[in-house]
Amino acid sequence: MSRKLPAKDVVIIGLGWTGSILAQELTDAGLDVVAIERGPWRDTASDFPPSYSPDELRYRLRHELFLRPAQASLTFRNNLDQTALPVRSWGAFMLGNGAGGAGVHWNAETWRFAPTDFAFKSHVTQRYGAKVLPEDMTIQDWGIGYDELEPHYDRFEYLCGTSGTAGNLKGALQNGGNPFEGPRSRPYPTPAQKQPFSHTLFAEAARNLGYKPFPQPSGNLSQAYTNPLGVQMGPCTYCGFCEWFGCGNYSKATPQTTILPVLVRKPNFEARMECEVTRINLDRGGKRATGVTYVDSSGEEWEQPAELVLLCAFQLFNVQLLLLSGIGTPYDPKSGRGQIGRNFSHQTVSTATGFFDKAKFNFNPFVSSGSIGMCIDEFNGDNFDHGPHGFVGGGYMGQVQTNGRPIEMTQQLPPGTPAWGARWKQAVKDNYLSTVYAGTGVHGACASYRTNYLDLDPTWKDRFGRPLLRMTMDLHDNELRMSAFLTDKYAEIIQAMGANQVAKQPRKGPYDITKYQTSHLCGGAIMGTDPGNSALNRYLQSWDVPNLFVQGASAFPQNAGYNPTGTVAALAYWSAKAIREKYLKNPGRPIDA
């Protein structure tokens, strides 16, 4: 039996990047906002200070900052013929928890998607003909263009102080930047980070092969920065304990270091921590959200009424909460009908490890940052002719090695090395300082398919007795061919750096829930222009329940070959603007396209 609380203008589910951005924008508009977050508050000085943050076992292996599967998990299978089984421990992706969400432990690689990514289906169909797309591939256009999002990418980068080198300023190509990027209205707020040895060596080799390498856009800052909200960040110290970890010295862009200090000061904002939203409540007609029900840390259930509900949880849990709340029509892979759960995708990452002569190369791999690196974009999106290759899509690639943490790093040994014993030990000793290993050296796109989708599991339940989400996911030939091609190209560059030996690790099927492949899950509640094949309109507003907006990568119709956070945040600003300027003038109604 839940007790009813006084109504708020806005209730936000989840206080990660999108929840923080929306809260900031809507409190600025004068609305009374409450954010409900199932994880704890997290603060730099007490949760991950420099004195004990550099702890590989605790944060990387034991998943200190992540959601506990006991609190919420999902089930997984590769195809419709299998029985999905619970994900008992995280593997393929990591799920954030608490204030800042995954924004606390991300690498801070702050990319924009390319202009063609937003109309990928139209673009490749036009260039190569419709028959290039496999029958069961369900990619579709986003319903929004790069030019519309550009000001919002810009806002996010200036919020974060992103360090980088522009490649395209208002249409004019710039030396040293990414020549394939969409036009940006102004340079990055701070210059690119300095690069360690192996990263510069990669750039040199790539340049010699005729590519145009550029520094990865980084939310680990090259210098101190004060953002437009007045929040200050420090310079990155290249500690090598960035992604999977919290930043101990305010130098990684996170909600904590960019928005939350300003947000918590506002009298019209409140965050309730360690409270889990169990459903979005609808009125009798099912067309209006009346608020949310949540359970606090002592098991008490509360109802929080609100005029506007913003679903800002992680992609998986956005979809789960929609399904559990009976919003929209669940997707059915057999008929292809239904919107909630369709077009689920991930990221096709691979790498090639280079082993170098230790007498000549000393890379000091521990000197690094989460989003450091030198990259090339020649093989991303449709930047190259796919005609002869038999696949669509691509990815960026680079020496983006983030660390030399020994438990992880010593797993990379020349092929043929035994797994234990004296030869293993000698190989570890000989290779640690002279190995080039970027776990996601090749960061490839992932298309959406008819049978890659999310629904509710019939068997396994969460701690409240609600069905777990069920993920049905496999890698398809298009992605496997793409991965083989991109990994070859990447290995050529690693070889050209002067490696003695290169071990290629292209992505192989079937999709494996135990192998880490970035945390860039997307789709399931996608945006579009047709209520028949999308859950949200182009402003991330639910077609079915107009006073509900669903933020995050769940809106991506398929994944591009870049890290998603920049686009997730840009969409959040875009959606916030639409709420402020369009929705609030006529609340409760669908925004006209």
What residues from 30 to 69 belong to the interface with another protein (CB under 8 A)?
Answer: 30, 40-41, 43-47, 49-58, 61-63, 68-69
What are the backbone dihedrals phi and psi of residue 555, each rounded to the nearest 5 degrees, phi first? -85, -10
Eight-class DSSP state of 418: -
Q: Does 416 bind another protein (CB under 8 A)?
A: no
Mark residue 341 as left, alpha or beta (left: phi above 0; alpha: psi -120 to 50; beta: remaining): left
Residue 401 CA from chain centroid, whole number:
18
Site string (342-361) toward another protein, x via CB under 8 A: -------------------x
Residue number, 55 or 136, with CB nearest to another protein: 55
Interacting span for another protein (CB under 8 A) from 143-151, 166-174, 240-248, 493-501: 240-248
Q: Are 213 and 163 in contact (CB under 8 A)?
A: no
Cα–Cα distance for residue pair 485/73, rounded to 1 Å: 34
Nearer Cβ to another protein (150/270): 270
**Rounded least distance, CB 179 to another protein, Å:** 25
Among 261, 305, 326, 531, binds another protein (CB under 8 A): 261
CB of 460 to another protein, least distance (A): 5
CB atoms within 10 A of CB 562: 27
Residues 95-114 close enough to bind another protein by CB under 8 A: 99
Give the one residue of 237, 281, 495, 501 binding another protein; rule: CB under 8 A: 237
Rounded (5°) CA angle 448-593-152: 70
Instruction: Establish if 458 lies at the interface with another protein (CB under 8 A).
Output: no
**Is 346 a catalytic site residue?**
no
Q: What binding mask, one character per residue, do residues 525-554 give for another protein by CB under 8 A, x or -? A: ------------------------------
Q: Distance between CA 206 and CA 203 in Å, rounded?
A: 5
Which H or E run includes 85?
strand 85-86
Length of the chain: 593
Find the binder of another protein among 255, 373, 404, 561 (CB under 8 A): 404
Q: Is residue 281 at the binding interface for another protein, with CB under 8 A as the rule?
A: no
Rounded distance between C-alpha atoms, residue 409 and residue 366, angstroms? 10
Among 122, 151, 185, 264, binds another protein (CB under 8 A): 264
Rounded Cα gap, residues 434 and 444, in angstroms: 26
Least CB distance to another protein at residue 372 (A): 9
CA dist 11 and 270 (Å) reads 10
| Closer residue to another protein (CB): 62 or 337 | 62
Q: Which tokens belong to 104?
A: 């606390």
Classify strands 374-376 and 395-399 as parallel, antiparallel or unpaired.
antiparallel
Q: What's the CA angle centered on 149, arms 147 and 153, to 5 degrees?
A: 120
275 near another protein, judged by CB under 8 A: yes
Does 427 participate in binding another protein (rule CB under 8 A)? no
Burial class (CB in 10 A: 0-12, 13-18, 19+), 232: middle
Should residue 296 be labelled a site residue for another protein when binding is judged by CB under 8 A? yes
Sign, CA torsion 553/555/561/565:
negative
Q: Applying CB under 8 A, does 260 fall inside the site for another protein?
A: yes
Lay out the site mask for another protein across 152-191 (x = CB under 8 A, - = otherwise). ----------------------------------------
In this complex, which beta carbon is closest to another protein, that of residue 78 or of residue 371? 78
Q: Considering the complex, what minimum distance in angstroms separates the CB of residue 451 from another protein?
A: 15
Please identify, using beta-carbon distances, which residue of 197 and 384 lies nearer to another protein: 197
Using CB under 8 A, which residues numbered 481 to 510 contact another protein?
510
Specify the residue, 52 or 286, whose C-beta has the smaller distance to another protein.
Answer: 52
Side-chain half-sphere of 498: how many Cα atoms within 13 Å? 16
Please report whether residue 366 would count as binding another protein according to CB under 8 A: yes
- Nearer Cβ to another protein (271/289): 271
Site for another protein in 380-399 (CB under 8 A): none
- Should residue 80 be labelled a site residue for another protein when binding is judged by CB under 8 A? no
Q: Does 279 bind another protein (CB under 8 A)?
A: no
Is the dihedral angle over the CA atoms 60, 62, 68, 74 positive or is it negative?
Answer: positive
Strands 548-550, 276-282: pairing is unpaired
* Piece in contact with another protein (CB under 8 A), picked from 131-139, 203-211, 453-461, 535-543: 453-461
Positions 185 through 214 that interact with another protein (CB under 8 A):
193-197, 200
Size of the site for another protein (CB under 8 A): 115
Residue 228 within binding range of another protein, rule CB under 8 A = no
Instruction: Give the chain's radius of gyration (CA, Å).
Output: 23
DSSP 118: G
Q: Beta-carbon neighbour count of residue 86 at 10 Å?
A: 16
CA proximity to 2, closest of 299, 217, 213: 299
With CB under 8 A as the contact rule, the residue among 111, 120, 158, 432 that binds another protein is: 432
364 touches another protein (CB under 8 A):
yes
- Terminus-to-terminus CA distance in the chain, angstroms? 40
Query: Among 362, 415, 532, 586, which residue interacts with another protein (rule: CB under 8 A)?
Result: 362
Using CB under 8 A as the binding rule, whether residue 335 contacts another protein is answered as no
Does residue 3 interact with another protein by CB under 8 A? yes
d(CA 187, CA 371): 18
Q: How far is CA 232 from the centre of its chain?
A: 24
In angstroms, the CA 302 to CA 325 distance is: 16
CA dihedral defined by 293, 294, 300, 301, rounded to 10 degrees?
10
The stretch near another protein (CB under 8 A) out of 108-116, 144-152, 207-215, 364-372 is 364-372
State the nearest-atom distance from the C-beta of 42 to another protein, in Å.
Answer: 10
In 3D, which of 227, 153, 151 has the Cα closest to residue 190? 227
For position 130 contacting another protein by CB under 8 A, the verdict is no
Cis peptide before 458 (omega within 30 of 0): no
Q: How far is the CB of 531 from another protein (least distance, A)?
A: 35
**Shortest distance in whole angstroms from residue 291 CB to another protein:** 13
Q: Which of 113, 158, 214, 241 binds another protein (CB under 8 A)?
A: 241
Active centre residues (catalytic): 520
